[in-house]
């Protein structure tokens, strides 16, 4: 298929000061059919509108746009209606006007009358042809918009949520029709729901905060799956599942800090990791811990979790236990959820994805206790949130690195611990998986009373809501 | 001191050998209570000492280390192990007089010396514990009457003892009370609490006797666990070289092959391991293993007999007295073998290929496991115990070969096991020489040429039935079932 070769190079666009697209670099080659996705308000519709010549370019270049670009979108629809209403106002008062009839709106700019006639019949608009355009329902208006775009002899068709508001039969028909037209007509489509993505789409773009963050070739199944999951985490209205009501932790004294470390020192025979470190963590105080490699970030955290043996020779009180006074490590761990790369390496036990999540209730690596039905249900709710429902029974060690990380974060959070420790949760992940993890953490932070300790040396992996900072 | 076992009457010997009971989880409901607030002092901070101590402390118990003067003064590895892990370290004089429980985790060879040194310093009514009963059973160590003597023996290398605890589980553990030394009747309570402290109760505890532990432990480690793997490694490698298999490939097939094929044992015993082979390969492995069992049976019997009569331990003690001449000689010989000296090649071998091209290795594991089990149970050792000392531990030892070949295996196991392993190997290699002439690259290195996987139905049924009906499979299914019931969900 021949077609336009459209290039956006470092393009920034302003829409009346209300919204901006930033630094978009994107190329649509002949033969490619694109889908743009992103959460609401991400800028995916704006990016589509740019192709139809909307917005003011503030920097960068846009080249290769063909002449005939037809755009179907809510905005265009609203504009047309608004124009109709303005016409009403302008009319001489003594002439009663119903506005422009549908037939006229369709004829306006139509280059293929035969096709228009066919589409009017297929979409059931025939009885409405004499009706005023502005009196149509939203779905009917949308059909009119589609007919206008399809009969305008376009070189590029830009469809922003074309299936929205259509009745089931029309929707099915449109999918089939577009599939047919796509053989010769380049298209860019905006869709909120991944599962509506037609088969003819060859490439995907993901937009967030006015930026084009990912471009994925559909043939790359793995990237396609990850993008799907990212969109799910960003847009799904599922809640973070509640904890297990049957597990009751011994209550913490609300007047005491969660963690109090006094003059802590960790040393080995030949080096000192840190000395005289004081740190108090109050409940609901979220902390970011940063420092160069080797500064002892992980070491410090493991004094809290009890995984570092020198916790016994330091003055440390966690969750009311002065360490080294006869408490067991499991009494400490019950209050903590923990994720790190090291944990992922250690998690080499052959078990299912669901069991990995359930193991968070028992602070174990692998599952050694018969879990309850409630716990299984909670784990399944987490898998739904992660967009991994159909993979519950797959072996954990066969999953990709990024998927494992997501599951381990769910495992850490499944019991809603008073303290959640995230030790470089994005380490070793590619861009897409980093965003997946951050999206999940953000959702967790938003919906719970857990205190979060977050170790990261990449400042761009910032999580909203974390305000305290410890630099090592 | 005389061999303790040999001082008992036959009736008593049989009674002790037959002691073995799988304990239920609810027998451990008191947790570590019996040890709470008691002062536990570990002697030696090596493989078992360090890792058991870490677990016990994480279970809320008071643990410190008494090391010999030299270790402290020279800041040896044992001192570093204890100090860097934040334990109190002191001399015997400093720590032993106030100790409630003393854990003797020094090498078995040192036990007589160590126990004689520490006994006078121990307080009245304290407890002395071991992780292996050699000193009591084979050397007849007499411990002061007021001291309680127990054993808590994890059936795993020290590193596993720790790793499983950290995962929230434990390793199967054997506990025992030395009846001659249980003055206050508290031995069992202490041993149970200790097993809970190391996490062993979660994986299964066998209540046994010092004697049953020693006689089965020695047998297992000498034959299937270490000896058979060493002999198998050397014979299979040399055969492959003779058959023209690329040396790097041969070395890799063996180094990682034991681990891979025995992993299948963990999940479903010998049956599952054999089921990983194609039908023709399974029949071939079965036949090879039957031949080897016939050839090796007298050797397995001899090992068990020597262990029972005390001939093995007195032989080894002679070598101790002779500055370990034999042990060191065999160790050096092992380092010089072609297998040890050939680096594993940089070739990809898939999991299934280890089975397909390692038919002889599978046959050796099967023959060794079954023979060791048969010999132990024929000598009066209870099936549960024989299972743990044969099939159960094989994959754990195989893992060590994957790390750094025979060197690593022999460095990880106890000195006693290493001596027994060489002793076995020394006899078994020549014993199998004739058998090996009948083996080809199809059995080891290249695999069967399987254009036609047809087998005779009747023969396959016969072979499957023989594999599945072996008594080690029966008890294995039961014990693995308990494990799953104690709810390991693998
Ligand atoms: N390894 C296993 O797989 C295993 C499994 C179950 C049970 N066990 C049993 O556990 C016990 C300990 O074995 P292991 O393998 O842990 O031993 P190991 O790793 O060799 O450690 C022995 C420790 O004892 C110290 N030591 C050596 N000679 C000593 C002496 N004369 N006096 C005082 N301390 C001495 C050593 O430290 P210094 O030399 O620095 O003083 C070292 O820290 C044995 O009874 C063994 O049978 C072992």
CB contact under 8 A, A309 and B85: yes
Give pLDDT, residue A94: 56
Using one digit for the tens of pLDDT, what is the confidence trace for B34-92?
Answer: 999 999 999 999 999 999 999 999 999 999 999 999 999 999 999 999 999 999 999 99
- Smallest Cβ–Cβ distance between B167 and the set A312, A330, A364 belongs to A364
Give pLDDT, residue B489: 38
CB contact under 8 A, B168 and A362: yes
| Structure tokens that stand for B152 in this block | 């808590």
- The burial of B322, by beta-carbon neighbours within 10 Å (0-12 exposed, 13-18 middle, 19 or more buried), is given as exposed
CA of B380 to the centre of ligand 1 (A): 29
State phi, psi for A242 to the nearest 5 degrees: -75, 170
Query: For a pocket test of ligand 1, which of B414, B415, B418 has the largest count of ligand atoms closer than 8 A to its C-beta?
Result: B414
Give the chain A residue nearest B164 (alpha carbons): A365
Query: Could you tell me the pLDDT band of residue B370, with boundaries at 50, 70 and 90?
Result: very high
Identify the DSSP state of B46. Answer: S
Using one digit for the tens of pLDDT, what is the confidence trace for B259-292?
Answer: 999 999 988 999 999 999 999 999 999 999 999 9
Q: Does B487 touch chain A (CB under 8 A)?
A: yes
Locate tokens 């200790």: which residue? B194
What CATH class does A259-471 carry?
alpha beta
Using one digit for the tens of pLDDT, what is the confidence trace for B422-446?
Answer: 999 999 999 999 999 999 999 999 9
The residue whose CA has the least distance to atom 47 of ligand 1 is: B132
Give the chain A residue nearest B86 (alpha carbons): A310
Give pLDDT, residue B312: 97
* Cβ of B114 below 6 Å from ligand 1: yes
Task: Kindly list the structural domains of chain B, giving each domain's residue range(s) and its CATH number in brackets, ordered by start.
Answer: 20-208 (3.40.50.720), 212-485 (1.10.1040.10)
CB contact under 8 A, A269 and B84: yes
Q: Does B484 touch chain A (CB under 8 A)?
A: no
Instruction: Supply the pTM of this predicted model.
Output: 0.82
Give pLDDT, residue B490: 36
Locate tokens 């602070």: which residue? A363
Find all residues with CB under 8 Å of B336, minimum gap 6, and list them. Answer: none
Considering chain B, what percentage of its residues have pLDDT values greater than 90? 90
Using one digit for the tens of pLDDT, what is the confidence trace for B84-141?
Answer: 999 999 999 999 999 999 999 999 999 999 999 999 999 999 999 999 999 999 999 9
Q: Does B159 touch chain A (CB under 8 A)?
A: no
From CA B193, how far away is CA A307, in angstroms rounded? 22
A135 CB neighbour count, 10 Å cutoff: 14
CA dist B181 → B177, B340, B358 (Å): 8, 45, 49
CB contact under 8 A, B37 and A326: yes
* Cβ of B106 below 6 Å from ligand 1: yes
Find all residues with CB under 8 Å of B216, minimum gap 6, and list them. Answer: B376, B381, B385, B386, B388, B389
Give pLDDT, residue A23: 95
Find all residues with CB under 8 Å of B227, minimum gap 6, and list them. Answer: B221, B420, B421, B422, B423, B424, B425, B428
- Domain limits of chain A? 6-235, 259-471
- The burial of B46, by beta-carbon neighbours within 10 Å (0-12 exposed, 13-18 middle, 19 or more buried), is given as middle
Residue closest to A183 by CA, chosen among A205, A168, A198: A198
Give pLDDT, residue B179: 93
Give pLDDT, residue A248: 87
Considering chain B, what percentage of its residues have pLDDT values greater than 70? 98
CA of B114 to the centre of ligand 1 (A): 11
Give pLDDT, residue B425: 97
From CA B311, how far away is CA A216, in angstroms rounded? 73
Given a cut of 70, the residues of chain A with pLDDT beneath it are 1-2, 88-97, 447, 458-461
Give the chain A residue nearest B39 (alpha carbons): A326
Give pLDDT, residue A239: 80
* Cβ of B45 below 6 Å from ligand 1: yes
- Nearest CA to CA, how far is B186 from chain A (Å)? 22
Q: What is the largest CA-CA distance in chain A?
A: 99
Residue closest to A382 by CA, chosen among A416, A338, A347: A416
From CA A333, how far away is CA A327, in angstroms rounded? 11
**Positive or negative, the Cα torsion across B405, B406, B407, B412?**
positive
Query: For a pocket test of ligand 1, which of B42, B43, B44 has the largest count of ligand atoms closer than 8 A to its C-beta?
Result: B44
Give pLDDT, residue B487: 44
Residue closest to A205 by CA, chosen among A36, A40, A46: A36
Instruction: Count, in order, helices (H) and strands (E) of chain B.
Output: 26, 9
Q: What is the side-by-side order of every strand in the sheet holding B39-43?
A: B20-22, B205-208, B173-177, B148-154, B127-130, B101-104, B39-43, B62-66, B88-90
Q: Does B320 touch chain A (CB under 8 A)?
A: no
CB contact under 8 A, B167 and A328: no
Q: What is the DSSP string of B357-400?
A: T-HHHHHHHHHHHHHHHHHHHHTT--HHHHHIIIIITHHHHHHH
The residue whose CA has the least distance to atom 2 of ligand 1 is: B157
* Cβ of B47 below 6 Å from ligand 1: yes
- Which atom of ligand 1 approaches the CA of B48 most closely? 16
Architecture in CATH for domain A6-235 = 3-Layer(aba) Sandwich (3.40)
State phi, psi for B489 to the nearest 5 degrees: -105, 100
CA of B415 to the centre of ligand 1 (A): 9
CA of B65 to the centre of ligand 1 (A): 13
The full 3-state SS of chain A, as one line of letters, equals: CCCCCEEEEEEEEEECCCEEEEEEEEEECCCCCEEEECCCCCCHHHHHHHHCCCCEEEEEEEECCCCCEEEECHHHHHHHHHHHHHHHHHCCCCCCCCCCEHHHHHHCCCCCHHHHHHHHHHCCCHHHCCCEHHHCCHHHHHHHHHHHHHCCCCCEEEEECCCCCCCHHHHHHHHHHHHHHCCCCCEEEECCCHHHCCCCCCEEEEEECCEEEEEEECCCHHHHHHHHHHHHHHHCCCCCCCCCCCCCCCCCCCCCCCEEEEEEEEECCCCEEEEEEEEEECCCCCEEEECCCCCCHHHHHHHHHCCCHHHHHCEEEECCEECCCCCCHHHHHCCEEEECHHHHHHCCCCCEHHHHHHHHHCCCCCECCCCCHHHHHHHHHHHHHHCCHHHCCCEHHHCCHHHHHHHHHHHHHCCCCCEEEEECCCCCCCHHHHHHHHHHHHHHHHCCCCEEEEECCCCCCCCCCCCEEEEC
Q: Which residues of chain B have a CB within 8 Å of the CB of A367?
A: 487, 489
- Which atom of ligand 1 approaches the CA of B416 most closely? 47
Locate tokens 């099915």: which residue? A172
CB contact under 8 A, B487 and A310: no
What is the set of active-site residues of B? 132
Q: Which residues of chain A have a CB within 8 Å of the CB of B200?
A: none
CA of B257 to the centre of ligand 1 (A): 29
CA dist B408 → A436, B345, B399, B421, B424 (Å): 42, 18, 10, 13, 18
Q: Which residues of chain B have a CB within 8 Å of the CB of A268?
A: 84
Q: Which of A131-135, A381-385, B335-339, B399-403 has the lowest mean pLDDT?
A: A131-135
- Nearest CA to CA, how far is B24 from chain A (Å)? 15
Q: Which residues of chain A have a CB within 8 Å of the CB of B168?
A: 330, 359, 362-366, 368
CB contact under 8 A, B84 and A313: no
Query: Could you tell me the pLDDT band of residue B484, with boundaries at 50, 70 and 90?
Result: low
CA of B480 to the centre of ligand 1 (A): 30
* CA A154 to chain CA centroid, nearest Å: 33
Q: Which residues of chain A have a CB within 8 Å of the CB of B38?
A: none
Give the chain A residue nearest B82 (alpha carbons): A309
Locate tokens 């049953």: which residue? B212
Instruction: Name the more confident of B94 and B414.
Output: B94
């Amino acid at each position: 298929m021949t077609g336009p070769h459209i290039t956006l190079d470092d393009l920034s666009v302003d829409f009346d000061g209300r919204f901006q697209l930033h630094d978009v670099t994107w190329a649509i080659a002949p033969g490619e059919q694109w889908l743009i996705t992103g959460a609401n308000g991400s800028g995916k519709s704006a990016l589509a509108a740019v192709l139809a010549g909307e917005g003011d370019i503030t920097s960068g270049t846009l080249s290769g746009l063909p002449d005939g670009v037809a755009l179907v979108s809510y905005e265009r629809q609203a504009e047309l209606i608004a124009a109709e209403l303005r016409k009403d106002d302008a009319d001489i008062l003594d002439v009663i006007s119903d506005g422009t009839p549908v037939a006229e709106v369709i004829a306006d700019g139509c280059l293929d009358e035969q096709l228009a006639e066919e589409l009017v019949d297929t979409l059931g608009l025939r009885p409405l042809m004499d009706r005023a355009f502005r009196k149509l329902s939203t779905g009917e208006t949308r059909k009119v918009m589609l007919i206008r775009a399809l009969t305008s002899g376009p070189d590029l068709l830009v469809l922003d949520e074309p299936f929205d508001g259509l009745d089931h039969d029309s929707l099915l028909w449109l999918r089939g029709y577009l599939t047919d037209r796509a053989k010769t007509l380049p298209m860019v489509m905006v869709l909120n729901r991944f599962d509506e993505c037609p088969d003819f789409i060859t490439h995907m773009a993901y937009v967030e905060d006015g930026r084009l963050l990912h471009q994925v070739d559909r043939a790359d199944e793995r990237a396609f799956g990850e993008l799907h999951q990212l969109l799910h985490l960003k847009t799904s209205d599922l809640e973070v599942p509640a904890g297990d009501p049957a597990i009751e932790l011994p209550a913490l004294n609300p007047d005491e800090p969660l963690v109090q470390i006094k003059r802590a020192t960790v040393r080995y025979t030949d080096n000192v990791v840190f000395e005289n470190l004081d740190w108090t963590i109050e409940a609901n105080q979220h902390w970011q811990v940063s420092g160069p490699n080797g500064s002892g970030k992980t070491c410090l955290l493991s004094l809290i979790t009890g995984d570092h043996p020198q916790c016994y020779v330091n003055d440390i009180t966690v969750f009311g236990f002065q360490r080294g006074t006869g408490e067991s490590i499991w009494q400490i761990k019950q209050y903590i959820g923990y994720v790190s790369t090291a944990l992922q390496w250690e998690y080499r036990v052959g078990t299912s994805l669901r069991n990995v999540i359930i193991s968070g209730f028992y602070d174990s690596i692998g599952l050694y206790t018969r879990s309850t039905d409630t716990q299984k249900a909670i784990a399944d709710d987490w898998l739904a949130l992660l967009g991994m429902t159909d993979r519950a029974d797959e072996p954990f060690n066969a999953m990709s690195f990024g998927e494992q990380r997501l599951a381990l974060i769910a495992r850490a959070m499944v019991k809603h611990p008073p303290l959640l420790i995230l030790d470089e949760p994005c380490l070793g992940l590619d861009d897409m998986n980093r965003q997946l993890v951050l999206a999940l953490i953000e959702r967790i932070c938003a919906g719970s009373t857990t205190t979060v300790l977050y170790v990261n040396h990449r400042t761009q992996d910032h999580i909203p809501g974390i305000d305290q900072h410890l630099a090592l | 001191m005389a061999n303790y076992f040999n001082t008992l009457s036959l009736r008593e010997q049989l009674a002790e050998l037959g002691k073995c009971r799988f304990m239920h989880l609810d027998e451990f409901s008191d947790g570590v209570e019996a040890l709470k607030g008691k002062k536990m002092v570990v002697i030696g901070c090596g493989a078992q000492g360090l890792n058991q101590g870490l677990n016990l402390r994480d279970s809320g118990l008071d643990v410190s280390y008494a090391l010999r003067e030299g270790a402290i003064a020279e800041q040896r590895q044992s001192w570093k192990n204890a100090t860097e892990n934040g334990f109190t370290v002191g001399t015997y004089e400093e720590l032993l007089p106030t100790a409630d429980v003393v854990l003797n985790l020094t090498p078995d060879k040192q036990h007589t010396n160590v126990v004689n040194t520490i006994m006078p310093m121990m307080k009245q009514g304290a407890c002395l514990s071991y992780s292996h009963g050699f000193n009591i059973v084979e050397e007849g160590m007499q411990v002061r009457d007021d001291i309680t003597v127990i054993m808590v023996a994890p059936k795993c290398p020290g590193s596993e003892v720790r790793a499983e605890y950290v995962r929230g589980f434990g390793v199967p553990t054997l506990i025992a009370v030395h009846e001659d030394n249980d003055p206050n009747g508290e031995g069992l309570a202490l041993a149970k609490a200790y097993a809970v402290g190391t996490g062993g109760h979660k994986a299964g505890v066998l209540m046994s006797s010092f004697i049953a532990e020693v006689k089965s432990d020695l047998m297992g480690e000498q034959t299937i666990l270490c000896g058979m793997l060493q002999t198998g490694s050397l014979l299979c490698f040399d055969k492959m070289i003779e058959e023209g298999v690329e040396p790097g490939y041969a070395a890799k097939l063996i180094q990682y092959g034991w681990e891979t094929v025995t992993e299948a044992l963990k999940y479903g015993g010998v049956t599952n391991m054999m089921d990983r082979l194609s039908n023709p390969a399974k029949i071939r492995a079965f036949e090879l293993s039957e031949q080897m069992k016939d050839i090796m049976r007298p050797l397995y019997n001899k090992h068990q007999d020597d262990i029972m009569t005390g001939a093995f331990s007195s032989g080894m003690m002679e070598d101790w007295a002779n500055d370990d001449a034999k042990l060191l000689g065999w160790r050096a010989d092992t380092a010089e073998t072609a297998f040890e000296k050939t680096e594993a090649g940089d070739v990809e071998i898939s999991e299934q290929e280890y089975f397909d091209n390692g038919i002889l290795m599978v046959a050796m594991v099967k023959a060794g496991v079954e023979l060791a089990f048969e010999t132990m149970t024929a000598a009066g050792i209870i099936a549960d115990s024989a299972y743990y000392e044969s099939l159960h531990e094989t994959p754990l030892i195989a893992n060590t070969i994957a790390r750094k070949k025979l060197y690593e295996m022999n460095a990880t196991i106890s000195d006693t096991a290493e001596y027994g392993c060489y002793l076995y190997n020394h006899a078994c290699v020549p014993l199998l020489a004739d058998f090996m002439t009948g083996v080809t690259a199809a059995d080891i290195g290249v695999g069967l040429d399987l254009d036609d996987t047809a087998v005779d139905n009747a023969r396959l049924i016969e072979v499957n039935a023989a594999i599945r009906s072996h008594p080690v499979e029966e008890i294995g299914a039961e014990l693995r079932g308990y494990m799953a019931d104690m709810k390991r969900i693998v």
